[in-house]
Amino acid sequence: MTLTNNYQSMAELKSLAGKCPRCSLCKFPPLVAVRDAGFSSICPAYEVNKMHASSGGGMLVMGMSLLEGRSEVTDRVRRIAQECTACGGCDIACKFSSDIEVLEVIFQLRAHIYKTAGAAPAHEAVLQSMRARLHPLVTASGALGDWLKDVPAEQSSTPDYLLWVGPHYALLPELRTTLTHALKLLAAGGVRYAVLGASEPYTGRAALEIGDRELFASFARRAAAAVAASSAKGVVCLSAEDYATFRALLPRFSAVGKPVLHVVELYDQLIRDGKLKPAKPVARALAWHDPSYLGRLSEPWTSWSGERVKTLGQMILETPPRPVNRGDHGCYDAPRRVLSRVPGLRTLEFFRRREYAFDSGECGQALAVAPGFALSTAQHRLAEARAVGADAIVTECPQSASMLRAAASSSDGTTTVQMLTDVLFESVLA
């Protein structure tokens, strides 16, 4: 039987999930990489809620139990599934030793819950917002193209890049400064870009995270079509969420057909080409936080179809070999290189970094339904920053920054959180 890795149902994942021996590796970073016992978990759900169900392995079993009709969706099951950031830490940790698709099962679990029991009210509001206003930001006011009135975008009629702004930058006033800085940096680097303004579709991830796969598919197709219709040669995402969605999810519905970069990769290129010159010293020690969307969740997806056969009696082989995302092809080096070029700046590393970074509570639409859980997750990450000696964090994902800031203000209030774009702007143009 021909199999594919474009999983459309939990049943398609059953034989992979069946290989889980409940080893618990999904609860920790790869063991060789553990640097501190106090910060040795990789799973926000398990860190906060402690039960096995609240872990990658636990979610996998919940999925199988529901699939096999051993149990039913209850409020409790729904709450456990929601108090997970869908950050993929478990998936990466499991795949240090296996090829089980834990995160795919988590998405299918959410789809199953959505199909059989609908969305929780707060999630339904997000879906409603997507259907009615074409974006997921329930409390945001204004229209998607309004930002163009405030922020000068020097668009080119022969663009190299389609600059994908995303609903957060487009709608949230607190991100206006960063948006302005990003556009100024691109202008200073001589980048020819175009924007879609009001007609830029949302890439749709929130729907997938909630479990409405059909809604997600319709947004994904729209986003892919918008890229195809543009004369630009490639896409540059300002938002890490869009970047991850373009690279890892959209290709399952429609080929994107053009290279997709995150803006930090473009900064990195511009600095290497001498088009941006960080000159002003920024005398600070900042810990770089790898957002899950920019890191492991952005690893490109490669289509596969093939067969599972047995060799040596019972050894399971896939022919041709199935590409397995193990997290190491996320965007990790570009931000580090950019920061290393800023004079005076000392970049510190978290204990948990790169593909095994601990999420900061921003992913998976957990914030909408379980704000306490999301905040605890961010607080834990903040504590880690302090443990590595940083009183400031730098990142490049608006949702991560917002969670970490909320955590800082709910605790000692002294840790500051900055966006890489703002730090670079300070050094290049301020």
**Would you tell me which residues interact with ligand SF4 (CB under 6 A)?**
20-26, 42-46, 55-57, 59-60, 84-90, 94, 98, 100, 102, 106
Q: At which residue do the structure tokens 């605790």 appear?
A: 411
Cβ proximity to another protein, 283 vs 312, nearer residue:
312
User: What φ, ψ does residue 180 adopt, rounded to 5°?
Assistant: -60, -45
Chain residues that interact with another protein, rule: CB under 8 A: 14-15, 18-25, 27-28, 30-37, 40, 50-53, 57-58, 61-62, 64-66, 70-74, 76-77, 80, 92-93, 95-99, 310-318, 321, 324, 326-328, 332, 354-356
328 makes contact, choosing from another protein, ligand SF4, none, with CB < 5 to 8 Å by partner type, with another protein
Cβ proximity to ligand SF4, 106 vs 249, nearer residue:
106
User: What φ, ψ does residue 61 adopt, rounded to 5°?
Assistant: -70, -40
Cβ proximity to ligand SF4, 209 vs 422, nearer residue:
209
β-sheet bridge partners, residue 287: 348, 393
Strand ranges across the sheet with 234-237: 193-194, 161-164, 234-237, 260-262
To ligand SF4, the closest distance from the beta carbon of 48 in angstroms equals 9
By the 10 Å C-beta count (0-12 exposed, 13-18 middle, 19+ buried), 308 is classed as middle
Cβ proximity to ligand SF4, 43 vs 183, nearer residue:
43
90 makes contact, choosing from another protein, ligand SF4, none, with CB < 5 to 8 Å by partner type, with ligand SF4
β-sheet bridge partners, residue 113: none
Which residues are CB-contacts of 257 (< 8 A; sequence separation ≥ 6)?
227, 228
To another protein, the closest distance from the beta carbon of 246 in angstroms equals 22
340 makes contact, choosing from another protein, ligand SF4, none, with CB < 5 to 8 Å by partner type, with none
Which runs of consecutive H residues, i.e. helices, occur in 101-212? Answer: 102-117, 121-133, 147-150, 166-171, 176-188, 205-210
Contact 327, 356 (CB under 8 A): yes
278 makes contact, choosing from another protein, ligand SF4, none, with CB < 5 to 8 Å by partner type, with none
To another protein, the closest distance from the beta carbon of 399 in angstroms equals 24
Instruction: Kindly compute the dihedral angle of the four CA atoms of residues 303, 255, 210, 398, in this order, to the nearest 10 degrees.
Output: 110
To another protein, the closest distance from the beta carbon of 329 in angstroms equals 9
> If residue 151 lies in a helix (H) or strand (E), which one and from where to where?
none
Cβ proximity to another protein, 120 vs 401, nearer residue:
120
Which runs of consecutive H residues, i.e. helices, occur in 342-390? Answer: 366-369, 371-387
Pairing of strands 315-319, 305-311: antiparallel
Cβ proximity to another protein, 207 vs 357, nearer residue:
357
To another protein, the closest distance from the beta carbon of 234 in angstroms equals 25
1 makes contact, choosing from another protein, ligand SF4, none, with CB < 5 to 8 Å by partner type, with none
To another protein, the closest distance from the beta carbon of 100 in angstroms equals 9
30 makes contact, choosing from another protein, ligand SF4, none, with CB < 5 to 8 Å by partner type, with another protein
106 makes contact, choosing from ligand SF4, another protein, none, with CB < 5 to 8 Å by partner type, with ligand SF4
To another protein, the closest distance from the beta carbon of 351 in angstroms equals 9
Which residues are CB-contacts of 117 (< 8 A; sequence separation ≥ 6)?
73, 78
Find the radius of gyration of the CA atoms of the chain. Answer: 21
CA–CA separation, 384 and 32 (whole Å): 18
Cβ proximity to ligand SF4, 43 vs 338, nearer residue:
43
283 makes contact, choosing from another protein, ligand SF4, none, with CB < 5 to 8 Å by partner type, with none
Cβ proximity to another protein, 53 vs 179, nearer residue:
53
| 88-117 burial code (b ≥16 CB/10 A, e <16) | bbbbbbbbbebebbbbbbbbbbbbbbbeee
By the 10 Å C-beta count (0-12 exposed, 13-18 middle, 19+ buried), 353 is classed as buried
To another protein, the closest distance from the beta carbon of 364 in angstroms equals 19
36 makes contact, choosing from another protein, ligand SF4, none, with CB < 5 to 8 Å by partner type, with another protein
CA–CA separation, 295 and 167 (whole Å): 20
To ligand SF4, the closest distance from the beta carbon of 359 in angstroms equals 6
Cβ proximity to another protein, 36 vs 154, nearer residue:
36
